[in-house]
Structure 1
């Protein structure tokens, strides 16, 4: 049986989560950011779920995802209902999870060719 390595047709891969930040490709990001398989938006304003406002969702909406993964750090923490409503009322799915789970899920969905965006909250 011949095996071949399949290279993904996207640019950004989440490689790890640590106390220092989130490893995207070969770069450790130490501030909150947004990510799609083809686009990285660094320095997203909120650093925690408590700082997250409905207006912060505008940057996610601009990425035109069908599903958003919200990585909330070492623990799963849900944002305020108004924040979730900013996506859900537009028909965009939202999954809230700890950052490690969000990274794993992002990579699987990106490999499947889904229109996924991830928002990672990284404390400053």
Structure 2
């Protein structure tokens, strides 16, 4: 017998690619083309506080501090999708999350999308902060 968690009320990432993510919430699909924050308790909005983020180099400590207050209660875990490739945020950027006991896992955005679906489906209080870059490959790589 296969057992599956009932995730019918959870937002799910249904698709992703370079520069886009499709989210299903309450049976409605929405396609996002800007960096996005999605939470297992209903949060789904552009990741643009205090400024828009289109590249890893645009990130600031304030972007991560905002994640701590993005939902009414603190998530147990923030998944940081660092874009097309794995890049780690500077430790000072994560200090406010660590001080609140919020865990942070860093991975490329595609892996963060998959991990979000698993954890949200298990009923965990998780937020995914997903950096969406253009479809251009990172410098020094080929498509």
TM-score range, shorter chain: 0.7 to 0.9
- Which residue of 2 is the match for residue 114 of structure 1? 124
- Which residue of 1 is the match for residue 102 of structure 2? 92
- Which residue of 2 is the match for residue 33 of structure 1? 36
Give the secondary-structure state (helix, strand or coil) at the position aligned to 1:107: helix
The number of equivalent residue pairs is: 123
Deviation larger for 41-50 or 9-18: 41-50
Residues 66 and 15 of structure 1, relative CA distance in 2, 3 Å threshold: same
Q: Determine whether 1:58 maps to 2:102.
A: no
- Aligned counterparts of 2:124 and 2:66: Cα–Cα separation in 1: 19
TM-score (norm 2): 0.75
- Aligned counterparts of 1:79 and 1:50: Cα–Cα separation in 2: 10
Cα drift, residue 32 of structure 1? 0.8
Cα drift, residue 108 of structure 1? 0.7
Instruction: Flag structure 1 segments of 5+ consecutive residues without an equivalent.
Output: none
* C-alpha contact 1:65 1:117 (8 A) present in aligned 2: yes
TM-score (norm 1): 0.85
Q: CA RMSD in A?
A: 2.2
* C-alpha contact 1:32 1:42 (8 A) present in aligned 2: yes
